[in-house]
Amino acid sequence: MSPAFDPGRLAGRIAAGEPLALARGISHVENESDGFEALLERLDGRTGRARRIGITGPPGAGKSTLTAALTRHYLNQSLKVGIVAVDPTSPFTGGALLGDRIRMGELSTEPGVFIRSMASRGSLGGLATATREAADLMDAAGYDRVILETLGVGQAELDIAVSADTTAVVLVPESGDGVQAMKAGLMEVADLFVINKSDRPGADRLEKEIAIIMSIRFANRPPGDADGDADEVWRMPIMQTVASEARGIEEFAEHLDRHFDWLRSTEKLETHRQTARLRRAHDALLRRSRRDAQRIWRRASRETLDSGASPYATARRLYEEFRKTLGGT
């Protein structure tokens, strides 16, 4: 079967920074269209330049507003920004109130900004994988910063957050969100904490709560790494913002830069990027086997499926077919 598109040509157009080509490329990856892997492979050598920033947190924390404010900050520095939104409650993906969506709409018409929302349901099986690859394409297209906005709940979503170079966890002062959120696995993914909507009561209290929890965490760590180098330890900033008024955004961007510099200086960046490449290969291998299994499933006869056998016997029988098909080609 001939591919649905010409991967070489599309790769060239993406590398040249054509937004329409980038949009098409991401769709091909998301849909796993014939040739999508050839596209990714051709652009592989062009990735690794962008800094990837994960912004995650509970619903209503203002992740999108923070993303928008950070994007404006980068635009003022003449940096190009790609945004991948996988948060079902995000205005980028259509989950917000009208006012929010209009504000985001303004951003989407800015030159130098590319916004893409990924479907969090109905994906072919690899939301986190496809999201990372969408970020790869933005990287290859020359975007200097790629922001991954994801909801901080759910397995696939947290997987996305941790794939960024730097992950910011966004919380709000209300209702003991801090402790609750920590328990939901957000603490493990955070490189820095942002208390957004900090003009509301409770921001200082929450900051103290987080600091206490962090100090308990640090207490269990050695003061330096194995070589006794204190620079090896990242002291996690906890900061306050009012993203809707762009308050604290400059400081936020500074902390992100500081973290990136720290990653680079400790060679953690290189390790991180190498791990990411291995992860890509791992995911691509699993995707290949899944696609083959799905092909067999689609071809399965009604008789096999309706045989009355247990689901596990049916799967075993289909898998035998799968093996035979593979062996015979």
Binding site for its own copies (CB under 8 A): 37-38, 40-41, 44-45, 58-60, 88-89, 94-97, 120-121, 123, 125, 127, 151, 153-158, 175-176, 179-180, 183-185, 277-290, 292-294, 296-297, 305, 310-316, 318-319, 322-323, 326-329
For its own copies, the closer of residues 19 and 59 by Cβ is 59
- Closest approach of its own copies to the CB of residue 14, in Å: 16
Q: Which two tokens stand for residue 162?
A: 């941790």
Residue count of the chain, please give it: 329
CB of 123 to its own copies, least distance (A): 7
Smallest distance, its own copies to C-beta of residue 119, A: 9
Query: In terms of CB distance, is 60 or 222 closer to its own copies?
Result: 60
Q: Between residues 211 and 326, which has the closer beta carbon with respect to its own copies?
A: 326
* Residue 70 vs 118, nearer CB to its own copies: 118
Q: Angle 17-50-72 (CA atoms, 0-180°, nearest 5)?
A: 80
Integer distance in angstroms from the first to the last C-alpha of the chain?
16
Query: Least distance (Å) from its own copies to the CB of residue 258?
Result: 28
Please give the DSSP secondary-structure letter assigned to residue 230: G
- Nearest distance in Å: CB 52, its own copies: 16
Closer residue to its own copies (CB): 228 or 311: 311
Torsion angle of C-alpha atoms 104, 110, 114, 120, degrees rounded to 10? 10
Residue among 265, 207, 267 at smallest CA distance from 240: 207
Burial class (CB in 10 A: 0-12, 13-18, 19+), 229: exposed
Supply φ then ψ for residue 141, to 5 degrees: -80, 0
Could you please report the per-residue DSSP string of 171-196? E-SGGGHHHHHIIIIIHHH-SEEEE-
Nearer to its own copies by Cβ, of 8 and 59: the residue is 59
Q: How far is the CB of 81 from its own copies (least distance, A)?
A: 25
